[in-house]
Amino acid sequence: MTQGHRPLTGKVALVTGGGRGIGRAIATELARGGASVAITYRGSQAAAEALAVELNQAFDVAVRPVLCDVREASEIERAFAEVKDTMGAVSVLVNNAGMTADNLVMRMSEEAWDDVLATNLRGTFLSSRAALRDMIRARGGRIVNITSVVGVSGNAGQANYAAAKAGIIGFTRSLAQEVASRGITVNAVAPGFVMTDMTAGLTDEQKEGIRQRIPMGRYGEASEIASVVAFLASDAASYITGQVINVDGGLVMA
């Protein structure tokens, strides 16, 4: 395949939860841009392996599926070591892995709270910490955290998820300040609603209700999230840090 402009050539990207949904689109966009890409998965081994072959063939870049439960520090350390040994030190980290376990607070179990906080927020912290050592040594790097518009707006039935996503925003801005002088940028992308497995459980009525609140009148495509992540990962975004970019068809304007 002929390659056009490849702004991410030479970069080594790690996308958590890259086997399906938005993470899959992000991994694809980064590979298209010329980056080597590590796709981490927890349950979706077959999907991650198939995507790695597909992207390698399509874009002629190294793509590696890597097992990693982002809730576990030891797994994160092992995954980063594996990537460093086989692909080189990570220069672009995308914290995409996430989950929901919706319920009203009154009925929410501690497990649902802990699991959602651990996957979305603790996972983002652990992966970022693991990536920083080499980024600081390299005097450069990019961290992009996937939050959500509900981290700002809140959402009934998603207090755990909204708290985790709001936490990611505070984490992003704090880390951005800690590492700005090292040439590392840390930003967040806040999708509105995108049809993936995560949103598949909504009823048709809920889907239509949400659609009507979106000024652009439609759901987002995973590729529309991915293109913003790829931009933030590129040298073109070198002076942007500590920002939260909403990609939501105008749903939240603040």
- Contact residues toward ligand NDP (CB under 6 A) are 16-17, 19-23, 41-44, 68-71, 96-99, 119, 146, 148, 191, 193-194, 196-199
49 or 134: whose CB is closer to ligand NDP?
Answer: 49
Would you state the torsion angle of the CA atoms of residues 224, 154, 167, 229, taken in this order, to the nearest 10 degrees?
0
CB 102 within 8 A of CB 158: yes
181 or 203: whose CB is closer to ligand NDP?
Answer: 203
As measured in angstroms, the least distance from the Cβ of 94 to ligand NDP is: 10
As measured in angstroms, the least distance from the Cβ of 225 to ligand NDP is: 7
Shortest CA distance to 61 belongs to which of 102, 95, 32? 32
- CA distance linking residue 185 with residue 93, whole number of Å: 11
As measured in angstroms, the least distance from the Cβ of 38 to ligand NDP is: 13
DSSP 182: G
- Phi/psi at 132 (nearest 5 deg)? -65, -40
| The token pair that represents 217 in the structure block | 């009148």
22 or 176: whose CB is closer to ligand NDP?
Answer: 22
Angle subtended by helix axes 73-86 and 123-138, to nearest 10: 40
As measured in angstroms, the least distance from the Cβ of 214 to ligand NDP is: 11
CB 57 within 8 A of CB 8: no
136 or 153: whose CB is closer to ligand NDP?
Answer: 153
179 or 194: whose CB is closer to ligand NDP?
Answer: 194
As measured in angstroms, the least distance from the Cβ of 149 to ligand NDP is: 7
CB 238 within 8 A of CB 183: no
Residue 194 forms beta bridges with which residues?
A: 220
SS3 208: helix
Angle (CA) 156 242 245, round 5°:
50
Choice among 41, 161, 219, 239 that is catalytic: 161
As measured in angstroms, the least distance from the Cβ of 26 to ligand NDP is: 9
- 161 carries an active-site annotation: yes
H or E element: which one contains 32?
helix 21-32
Angle subtended by helix axes 21-32 and 45-59, to nearest 10: 20
100 or 234: whose CB is closer to ligand NDP?
Answer: 100
Catalytic residues: 161
